């Protein structure tokens, strides 16, 4: 008898303990349900803004305007607690959005049209948030749209913005799933941080080990195909000087040893020989070519380096003068043209890396013939008569002849020096803002304005050399560069774009002559930033005074971007194979799959161990009650976690359809009976399973 009483006391004590457990879980200091929902919705709207804003750069103006209007409308409804538009009011908006996308793109699928349509759908869905299910739809749609950002840009800022947006979306997702109770924002933030931290090892393993393909699955991102260089396949007055204000990066170089001095940093690009009186372009077809490209280089002047070239939509590559052989880059299939220009077999429409070797002491084109040099003497008829006259006077003054200048290297050098001396002593100025020129642009530059940028001096020099019967051509590219002290890479910017001349001398071959070095020696010897400092144009470029910290900030940011480019965006299949080979793995598909599966198993096992260690005993009855409240919330009946089953039943009988009331009444009364009555101690596992099954199958419908 005493044993029975003891057992009864134990059962009653267990029932009371479970009741206290439910009370602890459900009866905690709460923010009101409406205030909590409003707070979560505002966080969701902030996350949606981070998802949408990066797309503004490529969306049509009307799509951007509509998205902003819908977003501010939802914010206004949330802050003022106004009711959302009815479902029938949303239908015309949906039809209008689909029609606008169709008119703009001619389809609703594809990258541009599909992303635009998804963004509009998400914005419209924000206006009809009525139940938790609608919030889930917006959250998961936002997760998907986050991925579409990388179809347009894979830059570091976009990646950072994505991480912030993911954290906010997880914050809202966590808050919405906390049905029984609310948590302080700091605790939810720690929970989200733990989720993100646990995902990092798996993400890194997948990035390093998952088999990579040679190109992206859905084509190149938009920023990969955007032109990032100002050099073109033609040169006319102003075509290079307009790049002065561009701080965009053309390429980065890393030298295996100490880099050459600034005066030797000539990065060779397009070579121009045809002149129509205003514009220099490459020859469409040469009259004759030399037997082969002949380069005699001094081995002691060899320079080894690697280049990370930004996309520019052309086929040319840049190399320090002069590359003796084409780099060994299989995917680019580079080759040297007869003009010693390095070109790729395909357009550079994505960031590429290649290693090269150049020689700063060389002789180029010693095997040229009279026939192959004839093209480099061409001048248009009827242009620049004063320049022609000046060349004739110079020839008479030096007692030379047109044929003698070409045959005798000493005579040609005398003409070259005479023209350079004319630039040095003739009152010419190197200006960053050259004036506009008319039809006879060389004449106007030489004898009227005497103000010009590098392309003016190179063009005028080549015209004078050809008028003196000396083969000459214009070479464009970049001159100089800036070492980033943070990562050691040399950064060559668009503002470093430059043009110089080459003349052919019998004993030396093609010889570089840069008239800019005569007029503005600081530009060549110490670089454009130093020239700008002396002219007071760019304090940021040199870091003088109070702006030095901005220069340091720029160096650090560019080094960070470069690391992102080098180790993330440039992680090609070749680099993956090299990494696996370095750690002793055979980089074939089977090995990669096995390594990835093993790493995944270890990570998941570690997460499982951590989860089991922190696992707490759950109340199955409380979980079933939370599921019931979610079912009712989907039908439009929201309830606080502290609302008792009997009170919830009163609301259910008023708001549910008649067909759903009986099932709801039976379930709620069972909750009340098994939680609060003396029968709570005798609830079996079978009864709990039956109750949970009934709740899962319960699909309530709201009264019409």
Catalytic residues: 454, 498, 514
Q: Is the peptide bond before 322 cis (omega within 30 degrees of 0)?
A: yes
Helices (H), 367-444: 370-373, 385-397, 402-407, 409-425, 441-444
* Separation in Å, CA 56 to CA 62, 66, 393: 10, 11, 61
Helix axes 658-676, 685-697, angle to 10 degrees: 150
Dihedral of CA atoms 179, 184, 188, 194 in degrees, nearest 10, equals -130
Strands 482-483 and 429-430: unpaired
> Rounded to whole angstroms, how far apart are CA atoms 118 and 51?
12
Helices (H), 59-110: 61-80, 87-105
Specify whether the CB–CB gap between 339 and 400 falls below 8 A. no
Phi, psi of 323 (to 5 degrees): -75, 120
Cβ neighbours, 10 Å, residue 559: 17
Look at phi and psi of residue 277 and say left if phi exceeds 0, alpha if psi is from -120 to 50, else beta.
Answer: left
At 296, is the secondary structure helix, strand, or coil? strand
What are the b/e assignments for 459-475, b being 16+ CB within 10 Å?
Answer: bbbbbbbbbbbbbbbbb
H or E element at residue 551: helix 548-564
> Rounded to whole angstroms, how far apart are CA atoms 599 and 673?
49
DSSP 20: H
> Rounded to whole angstroms, how far apart are CA atoms 210 and 421?
63
Nearest one of 44, 180, 322 to 642, comparing CA atoms: 180
Radius of gyration of the chain measured on its C-alpha atoms: 37
**CA 227 to chain centroid:** 13
Helices (H), 398-488: 402-407, 409-425, 441-444, 454-467
Nearest one of 577, 574, 603 to 592, comparing CA atoms: 577
CB-based burial label for 402 (10 Å; 0-12, 13-18, 19+): middle
Specify whether the CB–CB gap between 118 and 140 falls below 8 A. no
Cβ neighbours, 10 Å, residue 284: 6
**CA 460 to chain centroid:** 41
At 254, is the secondary structure helix, strand, or coil? strand
* Separation in Å, CA 51 to CA 90, 100, 192: 22, 21, 18
HEC secondary structure over 225-245? HCCCCCCCCCECCCCCHHHHH
> Rounded to whole angstroms, how far apart are CA atoms 146 and 159?
10
> Rounded to whole angstroms, how far apart are CA atoms 444 and 440?
6
| Size of the chain, expressed as the number of residues it contains | 704
363 strand-pairing partners: 296
Nearest one of 538, 474, 475 to 244, comparing CA atoms: 538
Q: What is the DSSP string of 334-366?
A: -EE-TTS-EE-SS---S-EEEEEEEESSEEE-T
């Amino acid at each position: 008898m005493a044993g029975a009483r003891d057992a009864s006391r134990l059962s009653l004590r267990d029932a009371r303990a479970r009741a206290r457990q439910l009370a602890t879980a459900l009866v905690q200091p709460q923010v009101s349900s409406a205030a909590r929902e409003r707070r979560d919705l505002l966080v969701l709207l902030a996350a949606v803004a981070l998802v949408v804003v990066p797309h503004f750069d490529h969306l049509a103006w009307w799509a951007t305007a509509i998205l902003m209007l819908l977003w501010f409308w939802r914010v206004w409804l949330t802050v003022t607690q106004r009711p959302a538009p009815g479902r029938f009011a949303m239908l015309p908006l949906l039809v209008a959005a689909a029609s606008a996308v169709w008119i703009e793109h001619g389809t609703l699928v594809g990258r541009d049209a599909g992303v635009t349509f998804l963004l509009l759908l998400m914005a419209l869905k924000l206006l009809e948030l009525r139940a938790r299910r609608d919030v889930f739809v917006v959250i998961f749609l936002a997760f998907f749209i986050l991925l579409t950002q990388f179809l347009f840009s894979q830059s570091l800022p976009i990646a950072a913005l994505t991480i912030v947006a993911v954290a906010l979306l997880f914050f809202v997702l966590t808050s919405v799933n906390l049905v029984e109770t609310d948590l302080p924002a700091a605790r939810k933030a720690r929970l989200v941080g733990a989720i993100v931290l646990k995902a990092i090892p798996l993400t890194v393993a997948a990035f390093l080990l998952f088999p990579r393909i040679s190109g992206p699955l859905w084509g190149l991102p938009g920023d990969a195909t955007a032109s990032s260089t100002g050099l073109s396949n033609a040169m006319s007055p102003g075509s290079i000087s307009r790049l002065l204000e561009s701080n965009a990066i053309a390429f980065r170089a890393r030298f295996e040893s100490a880099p050459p001095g600034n005066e030797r940093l000539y990065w060779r690009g397009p070579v121009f020989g045809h002149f129509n009186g205003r514009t220099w372009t490459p020859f469409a077809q040469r009259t004759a070519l030399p037997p082969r490209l002949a380069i005699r280089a001094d081995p002691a002047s060899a320079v080894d380096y690697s280049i990370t070239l930004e996309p520019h939509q052309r086929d040319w590559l840049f190399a320090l003068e002069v590359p003796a052989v084409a780099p060994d880059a299989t995917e680019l299939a580079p080759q040297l043209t007869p003009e010693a220009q390095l070109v790729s077999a395909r357009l550079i429409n994505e960031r590429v890396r290649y290693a090269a070797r150049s020689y700063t002491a060389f002789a180029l084109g010693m095997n040229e013939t009279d026939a192959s040099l004839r093209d480099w003497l061409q001048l248009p008829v009827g242009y620049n008569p004063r320049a022609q006259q000046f060349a004739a006077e110079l020839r008479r003054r030096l007692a030379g002849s047109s044929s003698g200048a070409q045959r005798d290297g000493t005579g040609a050098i005398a003409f070259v020096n005479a023209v350079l001396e004319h630039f040095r002593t003739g009152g010419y100025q190197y200006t960053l803002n050259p004036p506009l020129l008319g039809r006879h642009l060389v004449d106007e530059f030489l004898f009227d304005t005497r103000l010009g940028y590098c392309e003016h001096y190179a063009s005028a020099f080549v015209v004078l050399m050809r008028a003196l019967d000396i083969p000459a051509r214009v070479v464009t590219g970049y001159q100089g560069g800036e070492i980033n002290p943070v990562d050691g890479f040399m950064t060559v910017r668009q503002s470093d774009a430059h043009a110089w001349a080459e003349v052919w001398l019998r004993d030396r071959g093609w010889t570089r002559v840069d008239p800019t070095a005569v007029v503005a020696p600081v530009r060549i010897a110490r670089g454009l930033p130093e020239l700008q400092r002396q002219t007071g144009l760019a304090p940021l470029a040199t870091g003088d005074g109070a702006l030095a910290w901005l220069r340091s900030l720029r160096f650090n940011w560019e080094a960070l971007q470069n690391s992102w480019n080098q180790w993330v965006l440039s992680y090609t299949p070749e680099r993956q194979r090299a990494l696996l080979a370095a750690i002793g793995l055979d980089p074939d598909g089977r090995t990669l799959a096995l390594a990835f599966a093993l790493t995944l198993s270890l990570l998941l096992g570690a997460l499982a161990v951590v989860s089991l260690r922190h696992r707490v005993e759950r109340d199955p009855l409380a979980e079933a009650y939370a599921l019931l409240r979610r079912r009712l919330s989907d039908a439009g009946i929201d309830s606080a976690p502290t609302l008792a089953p009997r009170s919830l039943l009163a609301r259910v009988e008023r708001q549910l359809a008649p067909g759903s009331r009986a099932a709801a009444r039976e379930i709620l009364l069972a909750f009340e009976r098994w939680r609060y009555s003396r029968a709570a101690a005798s609830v079996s596992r079978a009864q709990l399973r039956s109750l949970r099954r009934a709740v899962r199958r319960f699909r309530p419908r709201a009264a019409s």
